[in-house]
Amino acid sequence: MPSRSGLSIAWIVGPMTYLILEAVAAAAFPHYSYTQNFISDLGTSASPRAVLMNMAFCVQGTLFLVGAMFLYRAPLFLSFAAENALGNILVATFHRGVPAHGVGAVLAIVGGNAAILAGSRVGGPSYRKVSLGLGVFGLLSFAIFAVARNGAWERCSVYSILAWQLLTAVGVLWSRLDQ
């Protein structure tokens, strides 16, 4: 059984911090649209609270990796979690238009959703089904985003990761990953 407190703290604080800081940054950005604008817009110099969004990327990526180390020591899973962490930090450091930003976005989104697929093995059949569904949904959303280029599909590809973290953290707290 994973460390309940370490995993749960990391995987509740990370996504909740991300969502709260994203909302605060979006509220200060004139005419910001969750469905049309990119998440990264909130971390640029055009955003009045860019520092908060960039902190959100760093906190989320770091705590995703920390929680992953408590959850499942499989090398493939941990490498995907590390890709997600590195990607989030690159997105926070380099802004749109810089090649490192695009690399970071791919690492964060693909790495995070691939980690879901690799990490789905830690629970029972119901947990595995939900995890596989979230991971596939996230990757398909990212593929659609690559073509459609709108904020809604980008968010689907990112929020699948946040949802899985919260699901897993709550499941570990309630000892229900085996159902």
- Taking a C-beta distance cutoff of 8 angstroms, is the pair 84, 61 a contact? yes
Residue 71: closest CA among 81, 62, 60: 81
Whole-angstrom distance, CA of residue 101 vs CA of residue 120 = 28
Q: What is the pLDDT of residues 145-172, one digit of tens each?
A: 999 999 999 999 999 999 999 999 998 8
- Taking a C-beta distance cutoff of 8 angstroms, is the pair 15, 164 a contact? no
User: Angle at which helices 99-119 and 151-173 pack, to 10 degrees?
Assistant: 40
For residue 81, the surrounding DSSP H or E stretch is helix 75-93
Q: What is the pLDDT of residues 40-93, one digit of tens each?
A: 999 999 999 999 999 999 999 999 999 999 988 899 999 999 999 999 999 999
Whole-angstrom distance, CA of residue 123 vs CA of residue 94 = 36
Residue 87: closest CA among 73, 100, 96: 100
Cα-trace Rg, the chain: 15
Q: Is the pLDDT of residue 3 over 70?
A: no
Structure tokens at 68: 């992953």
Whole-angstrom distance, CA of residue 107 vs CA of residue 172 = 26
- CB count, 10 Å around CB of 7? 24
